[in-house]
Chains A and B, each alone.
Chain A
Amino acid sequence: MVRVVNRLLHMLFVLWAVATIMFFMFRLMTGNPLAAYIDTNFTLEQQEALLVQFGLDKPLWQQYFIYIGNLLQGELGQSFFYRKPVGEVLMNAFPNTIVLTMGALVVAYLFGIPVGAYLAWKRGTWIEGVGIPTVLATRAAPEFWLGMILLAVFAFNLGWFPSGGANTAGAEFNSEFARFTSVDFLWHLVLPALSLALYLQGLPLLLMRSNMLEVMQEEFVTMARMKGLSEWAIIMRHAARNALLPVVTTFALSIGLSVGGNVVVETVFSWPGLGRLLVGAVASSDFPLAQGAFLLITLVLVSMNFIADLLYHVLDPRVSHGSNN
């Protein structure tokens, strides 16, 4: 319990530090504090309201506290481009990113874990000799380039999948849920999720493999053999169960990492997610939106690190069940 509180405080500290860094980056690097929040194309009333809301006429240190206060209320200003509150724009894009990330990760882990275990089992054979360099190559390939190939082959050449977006233009749905479960949406999801998964599967695969190799050396696996347990029981019940532990925690870590890393794949497939929003905002100098998207991505990253940490301690009985002695 102390540990949980401790990690939580740690997470809040990191969030605060990143928010502070962002504050100074946006205030100081845009040259003019007004420029960070006020677009000259806004109406005068709008400009006035933002001036007050963010205290842009006050000294910097006061602006800082107003900024932190606004952040705590989820108040991120007005997007220059969309002419809407930043929070609203972000919340439209966020679910798309989450669905893409989770979809890709689930595929990546469902593939990577068993194949990693298999490669460990095939250690020293030609299968390993071919498999390992192949996996390393997918880790080394830029994810957007994988996406470009899939796009060229399956969308443009074969025409099996749409070439971009999350829905066919003009498609209408009763609810967000209906949209996410529609065939149309899933059809659009396949290629971007696949290119992400292709890139992401290397981590669970290699990790699972090296953990398996390590666990197979453990005395308790030797003992399982001495007990005459079947090879299946030894591999699945003992070796894989132990090797899986750290891999599961990287799943949570990967969510955090790929929400930020998705940026490029979202761009290739014009996927209306957070990353593409960030790129667009930066390119069009929409500072409030850029800042908001950045902070949201950070929030996901940091809280997933936190969850991964907790998960590890829940799953490992050596930690979750303290010593009795």
Chain B
Amino acid sequence: MKKFCSQNCGTSPLSILSIQDLHVYYETGRGTTRAVDGVTFDVPEGHVVGLVGESGCGKTTAARAITRVIPKSASIVSGRIIYDGKDLLQLSNRDMAALRWREIAFIPQSAMNSLDPVYRVGSQIIEILRDRGGFDRQRARRRAVELFEMVGLDDKRLRDYPHQFSGGMRQRAAIAFALALEPRLIIADEPVTALDVIVQRQILDTFKDLQERLGLSVILVTHDISVVAFSCDEVVVMYAGQVAEAGPTAAVLAEPVHPYTMGLYNAFPDLQRSAGTLVPIDGNPPDLTLTQTGCRFADRCPFVLDECEREAPSLIQANEGHTAACWRRGEAAALRRQAEEVTTWQRS
């Protein structure tokens, strides 16, 4: 593991973003999908916060809700998203649009589909710079070259169409796009998931470098816990639309409190363990269209108690700056030892 924490470790800077009890639901033919159902977390200024969880647990929905660009079928039901002292959910559409990209930029999962296929990549950067940044044509051009250099792309590539880029180059271009207007917060939704491991590392390195140099605050969405270990200061573990556990990366990964985090950590190979001990968590996440009274992880949890099924635990401090939603957070140390046994996760 490279490092758990960048330059701001130890101090506790002010939050640039604070999400409080956010609920985002989709109206579908089958009913209401509670994709984000009471999510709370903070992004300290200058930190990288990892948002992890299995596919379908609501990471993208939560991340996009921050920009308020969500599908027609989705609605932000309640909660607060405090950015720089203002609740984004209270802003007028106009004020919100003014804030987008200049303050909060986004790196999408699939950069291929996020670029307009009929315009050159360069002119799409220039469009942002001119339309949103007030650059004139010449300065916009120079800035585009500069941005491409920053992310390690040849500026000749500005003249290419998106389809002429490789997957890795597109992802680099997406980073350049995000940096264009020097935003304070970047939301990166699985920026490297579609790439092979070597390229993933190269791009994460570049990104991490830029983040430190520019002092950016970042929400990094991923379902890969090794990416978290590699590049995040804090981590928020989501399960079925809710936060299971959150805290400094070092603490959460070294001493996980929530059984789901323990299981998730087992499920991914990392540099210290050999791939042979890879243990998946049995079962599937619950259907988010159904309401559930108890803990949402109960039916997959090896440490389940009766009360888990009766009532959902709330997100409560377990250690310094480290919260978890688990009734047995007091016994975490003992559970961790059990969780290391493969047999714990195998069910009859």
Contact = CB atoms under 8 A, between A and B. Distances in A.
Do A and B originate from a single complex?
Answer: yes
Contacts of B105: 226
A266 B215 CA distance: 72
Given A229-B131, A229-B132, A323-B163, A222 B69 contact: yes
A116 B233 CA distance: 50
Contacts of B114: 219-220, 222-223
Given A318-B163, A323-B164, A230 B131 contact: yes
A285 interface: no
B132 A228 contact: yes
B101 interface: yes
Nearest to B167: A325
Given A228-B97, A228-B102, A229-B127, A317 B117 contact: yes
A226 B101 contact: yes
A220 B108 CA distance: 10
Dominant SS at the A interface? helix
A227 B177 CA distance: 9
Interface string A207-243: 0000000000011101111111110010001100110
Given A230-B131, A321-B161, A225 B117 contact: no
Given A226-B101, A228-B102, A245-B118, A219 B132 contact: no
Contacts of B165: 324-325
A318 B166 contact: no
A227 B131 CA distance: 10
Interface residues of B, number: 28
Given A220-B115, A317-B118, A325-B166, A228 B98 contact: yes
Contact of B160 (A225, A230, A324): A324
A223 B102 CA distance: 14
Interface residues of A, number: 26
B242 interface: no
Nearest to B180: A227
Interface string A238-267: 100110010000000000000000000000
Given A220-B114, A226-B69, A321 B164 contact: yes
A233 B118 contact: no
Interface in B102-119: 102, 105-106, 108, 110, 113-118
Contacts of B97: 228, 230
B143 interface: no
A300 B132 CA distance: 48
B100 interface: yes
Nearest to B96: A228
B67 interface: yes
A184 interface: no
A316 interface: yes
Contacts of B166: 325
19 contacts: A219-B110, A220-B113, A222-B69, A223-B114, A223-B115, A225-B69, A226-B69, A226-B101, A227-B100, A227-B132, A228-B100, A229-B127, A229-B131, A238-B116, A316-B118, A318-B161, A321-B163, A321-B164, A324-B165
Given A227-B100, A316-B118, A321-B164, 8 more contacts: A220-B113, A226-B101, A226-B105, A227-B132, A229-B131, A318-B163, A323-B164, A325-B164
Interface of B: 67, 69, 97-102, 105-106, 108, 110, 113-118, 127-128, 131-132, 160-161, 163-166
